Structure 1
Amino acid sequence: MNKSTIEQNINRVLKSTGLKNLGEKKVGKVRDIYIQKDKLILVSTDRHSSFDRIIAHIPFKGQILTQISRWWFKQTEDIIQNHVLDMPDPNVIVGKKCKVIPLEMVVRGYISGVTGTSLWMNYQKGQRDFGGFTLPDGMKKNQKLDEPVLTPTTKSDEHDRPVTPKEIINEKMVEPELWEKLSKIAIALFKRGQEIAAKKGLILVDTKYEFGLDDGGNLTLIDEIHTPDSSRYWKLDSYQARFDDDKEPEYFDKEFLRLWFKENCDPYNDPTLPEAPADMVAELSSRYIQIYEQITGQKFETDLETPIEERITKNLKNNKV
């Protein structure tokens, strides 16, 4: 899909849903979740959040996130079962209802990042012992780690807190046996992701996984997997040369829209935000489409005629959801 088609459909976005007779509705950052007795109807909207609030609506983003997740779930189902029961619409996953494990399993393949919790920022401050692993002196920013590492955080509605394996066991977040299983599976998923991404000309830098237990107590991968919202990707072909020259890697960039808001308002405190420039919204949509096509090898296709919520309602009805 070219940029002019996106621009013509700039207002074709799913901001929220009001689907009838699907159960209690819970609103997340990006998804509207309808809760039923034994399953969840997860509808990905086009909401784009930053600064703890919605800053824009990006055409086709919800569909892309859903379809990338679905593609990756299929690539990894031999490692662990996932929650997907059905995908009756490009924006919808019907998922098995699970008891959520209160941890986000963050896996990193490179020493990188600029946030307060990032490996590089803490390494620069002199930290070498990260609880579950130790890093040697003399590492450079964006250097590949010998092996992927786990930096789990608590899963909370407020702020996620980094935790060590020792704290996880001592605070009885999960049993030791389950922690071992979670660790092994998270690393296996990440290695599979890196292997497949490399064939697509990409580096899977870091990501996060969420898990739950189904009715039978079986460990299940839930939420999303290896999407551009839960993961960071760099371009593979230019990485080494840029690393050797102390340059930042080329990467899938969503930051430009965030920076525009920082320059044009106080996004944390202003009661209302200015509208994001249409050309920037179209550019971000185009980048989501490009990474979808690069990862899956499939051309992005969508219905540009039927209103999105009408299409979802029809597809759910046709699939007896």
Structure 2
Amino acid sequence: MKRWSTKDLYTLTPPVDGRPGDGILTFTDRYSVFDFGVMPDEIPGKGKASCAMAVRSFGLMHDAGITTHFVEQVSDNAIRIKLLDIDFEGARGRTGPGGMIPLQVVYRNALPRESSVHRRVAAGRLDPALVPDRREPGSPWLDGVMVEFTTKFEETDRFVTREEAATVGRIGPEDIARIEKQTQELAGILTAHTEAVGMELVDGKAEYGFDAGGELMVIDHAGTPDENRFYSGGVPVCKELLRYLHPGLRELVQQNIKDGLPRDRWAPPAPLGAAAVAATSEVYAALTAVWTAPSAGADARLSAAVRDFTEVTGAALGDRTGL
């Protein structure tokens, strides 16, 4: 069993000779923000919510002709998947059939105030020419989908150019182009569904691998509150809520890494408290109802859950989103 920050992966049949194996991906109630790792609290029902939304999203991809590693749902918080080979050290050279591409792909429809794009442009780490035009002057919404690449297995994820992404992913420039095109298609599919259920999709992440025939395959999961920033009425209804509850943690993590402080010496964040945990749990459950079975009742439940979250936590969501 392989344990990630928020998911557990069980191998049933290992991949071999370029052929995917078989595994079980379990969505847990754990959460992680700002690359800290596993946080002190668990959010009851979070794993079940993420699984239900992932299954619905895989269905949307399947209907659109996009290949994924999803096979079937096996419990309320677990799915069976086609298991790809993970070559952490690059010992086998170029990523080939049956292999996971060690990259994360970020797609953006908008640049809210908390988007890292603003910080990276200001610091000179991102060429503003790579940022699409806005739909309207002063609007956070972009006139096209912005696609970026990050590392996957480093101490913290870092953004890389397309050239470096090809090197890190151990793939060719033609593969990068294929990934970018498919990511734009994926973003369009999820954006259309998000708008159909009355919400807004700001950005998200996707991961890829190759099937046995060398064709691209969406892996991990997409269209969930951990991988996507969903907004309802300009207010985040996703993991972004949990980030608001840990002010200063991003800067602390960055300083710890800069200082070379081992993770086992990082000071643990303070627990959220029972009321904040319960309020967050209800937002996840309400969001899932909107995503999987939209209705007026589901919309009302989500609105009520967000109001309760702000009252319990004091988070000034409307002042911070920029949407």
TM-score under structure 2 normalisation? 0.71
Match of 1:215 in 2: 212
Match of 2:59 in 1: 74
Match of 1:129 in 2: 127
Distance, in Å, in 1 between the alignment partners of 2:73 and 2:238 is: 28
Q: Which moved more, 1:33-42 or 1:270-279?
A: 270-279
Distance, in Å, in 1 between the alignment partners of 2:283 and 2:271 is: 20
Match of 2:42 in 1: 57
Map residues 307-318 of structure 1 onto 2, 5 A cutoff.
Answer: none
Q: Which moved more, 1:85-94 or 1:156-165?
A: 156-165
C-alpha change, 1:190 and 1:261, in structure 2 (3 Å) is closer
- What is the aligned-residue identity percentage? 27
Match of 2:107 in 1: 107
Q: C-alpha root-mean-square deviation of aligned residues, in Å?
A: 3.0
Give unmatched runs, 5+ long, in structure 2.
15-20, 85-98, 254-264, 299-323
C-alpha change, 1:139 and 1:161, in structure 2 (3 Å) is farther
Amino acid at match of 2:114: V
C-alpha change, 1:103 and 1:256, in structure 2 (3 Å) is closer
Amino acid at match of 2:83: K
Amino acid at match of 1:104: Q
Give unmatched runs, 5+ long, in structure 1.
1-24, 239-248, 301-321
Distance, in Å, in 2 between the alignment partners of 1:250 and 1:219 is: 34
Task: Say whether the 8 Å CA contact 1:79–1:188 is kept in structure 2.
Answer: no
SS in 1 for 2:176: helix
Match of 2:301 in 1: none
Distance, in Å, in 1 between the alignment partners of 2:211 and 2:120 is: 36
Match of 2:4 in 1: 28
- Alignment partner of 1:292 is 2:277: no
C-alpha change, 1:112 and 1:125, in structure 2 (3 Å) is farther
Amino acid at match of 2:78: V
- Alignment partner of 1:196 is 2:193: yes
C-alpha change, 1:58 and 1:156, in structure 2 (3 Å) is same
The structural deviation recorded for 1:260 is 4.5
Distance, in Å, in 2 between the alignment partners of 1:253 and 1:72 is: 15
Amino acid at match of 1:72: S
TM-score under structure 1 normalisation? 0.72
Distance, in Å, in 2 between the alignment partners of 1:207 and 1:252 is: 13
Task: State the structure with more CA Rg.
Answer: 1
The partner residue of 2:177 within 157, 160, 180 is 180
Structure having the higher helix fraction is 2
Q: Which moved more, 1:106-115 or 1:64-73?
A: 106-115
Count of aligned pairs between the two proteins: 260
The structural deviation recorded for 1:259 is 4.8
